[in-house]
A = this chain, B = another copy of it.
């Protein structure tokens, strides 16, 4: 397999693009970031990136591919907490805990850069602006989990799916992997079910319903928005927690 975006200038990496939505990154920031990108690793499907209960994990920045973080329950079912796309951290939270409290598993083959606790703190010391940006990224991750929690607690299955597809679209657009018309999406209906707290059967029916309503189509690995504004209204989607209009910190 060829290394995706190997020759990409650092400011065009998904990670830099995402952080740029929050702070304006200087040449120094970019150089330090470039350093973080050094230790590249590849995870094929089936090899966990982070394993629940394991100690002394390090974190990763996802360069290409899709992953998901999840928790396993005693009965054997699982709850997917979130999906990760290029530019996202994998296991940032678990760096601070003695043992990882969740799993991260690749959905497609994954290229990721290893970041140890030491690397991160060193980078922070060098450019505090980057520290702020990373803290922002972590806050954004938490905001997404909160929104996901609202999904599960108070939205119907159909609203939940609509909201989820919109959020994913907005995130992908931020790193240049989709536009207002839709995006490529490697998630199976089983994965959606594990994420949305539904059964796979019901995911199928909900997708059909959204398709028949003329709102979104999810077929053959592509999500196509047929009526974006209608979908936003239906889902009660407010993207303000995902970015700002233009960088905040200069």
Contacts and interface: CB of A to CB of B under 8 A. Distances in A.
Interface stretch (A26-34, A94-102, A107-115): A94-102
B146 A77 contact: no
A248 interface: yes
A155 B98 CA distance: 26
A170 interface: no
A154 B74 contact: no
Contact of A99 (B97, B98, B99, B240): B240
Contact of A149 (B75, B99, B152): B152
Nearest to A236: B74
Interface residues of A, number: 40
Given A142-B142, A146-B81, A149-B81, A236 B98 contact: no
Interface in A184-232: 196-197
Nearest to A195: B153
A98 B143 CA distance: 13
16 contacts: A78-B154, A79-B149, A79-B150, A96-B135, A96-B136, A96-B139, A97-B143, A101-B143, A101-B240, A135-B135, A138-B138, A141-B142, A142-B145, A145-B145, A145-B146, A152-B153
